[in-house]
Amino acid sequence: MNFLLRPLVALATTIALAAAPDERRSGYDIAGPEIRAMQDDDTANPGNLWVLQGETLWGKPTGAADRSCADCHGDAQMTMKGVAARYPAFDAVLARPLDLEQRINQCRTEHQKAEPLAWESEDLLAVTAFVARQSRGLPITVSASLELRPFLALGKQLFEQREGQLNLSCSQCHDDNWGKQLAGNLIPQGHPTGYPIYRLQWQSLGSLQRRLRNCMTGLRAEPFEYGAPQAIALEFYLMERARGMPMDAPAVRP
Partner 1 sequence: MARVLINLPQRAKRGDIMEIKTLIQHPMETGYRLDNKGVAIPRDIINRFTCTYNGDEVFQAELFPAISANPFLAFSTVATESGELVFSWTDDRGQTQTETRQITVE
Question: Which CB contacts under 8 angstroms, 24+ apart, belong to 45-50?
Answer: 45/198, 45/250, 45/252, 46/198, 46/205, 46/252, 47/129, 47/196, 47/197, 47/198, 47/205, 47/249, 47/250, 47/251, 47/252, 48/250, 50/122, 50/125, 50/126, 50/129, 50/130, 50/196, 50/205, 50/250
128 binds partner 1 (CB under 8 A): no
Which residues, other chains included, contact 131 with Cβ-Cβ below 8 Å and sequence gap of 6+?
Answer: 54, 76, 80, 83, 84, 100, 104
42 binds partner 1 (CB under 8 A): yes
23 binds partner 1 (CB under 8 A): no
- Minimum distance from CB of 126 to partner 1 (Å)? 9
Of 214, 234, 235, nearest to 223 by C-alpha is 214
Question: What mask, x for binding partner 1 by CB under 8 A, covers residues 222 to 241?
Answer: --------------------
Torsion angle in degrees (nearest 10) through CA of 10, 15, 16, 19: 160
- Tell me whether residue 34 or residue 160 sits nearer to partner 1 (CB atom): 34
- Tell me whether residue 152 or residue 252 sits nearer to partner 1 (CB atom): 252
41 binds partner 1 (CB under 8 A): yes
Q: Among 7-15, 41-49, 161-169, 207-215, which window interacts with partner 1 (CB under 8 A)?
A: 41-49
200 binds partner 1 (CB under 8 A): yes
The dihedral built from the CA positions of residue 191, 194, 200 and 204, taken in this order, carries a sign that is: positive
Q: Which of 9, 17, 37, 52 binds partner 1 (CB under 8 A)?
A: 52
43 binds partner 1 (CB under 8 A): yes
53 binds partner 1 (CB under 8 A): yes
What 8-state DSSP symbol labels residue 111?
A: I
Q: 10 Å Cβ neighbour count for 197?
A: 27
| β-sheet bridge partners, residue 139 | 246
Q: Give CA–CA dist 253/194, Å, rounded.
A: 9
Give the HSE-up count for residue 168: Cα atoms under 13 Å, Cβ half-sphere: 15
49 binds partner 1 (CB under 8 A): yes
Q: Among 45-53, 81-89, 135-143, 184-192, which window interacts with partner 1 (CB under 8 A)?
A: 45-53
- Tell me whether residue 191 or residue 211 sits nearer to partner 1 (CB atom): 211
48 binds partner 1 (CB under 8 A): yes
46 binds partner 1 (CB under 8 A): yes
Q: Which of 204, 215, 227, 230 binds partner 1 (CB under 8 A)?
A: 204
Question: What mask, x for binding partner 1 by CB under 8 A, covers residues 160 to 199?
Answer: ----------------------------------------
The residues binding partner 1 (CB under 8 A) are 41-44, 46, 48-49, 52-53, 200, 203-204
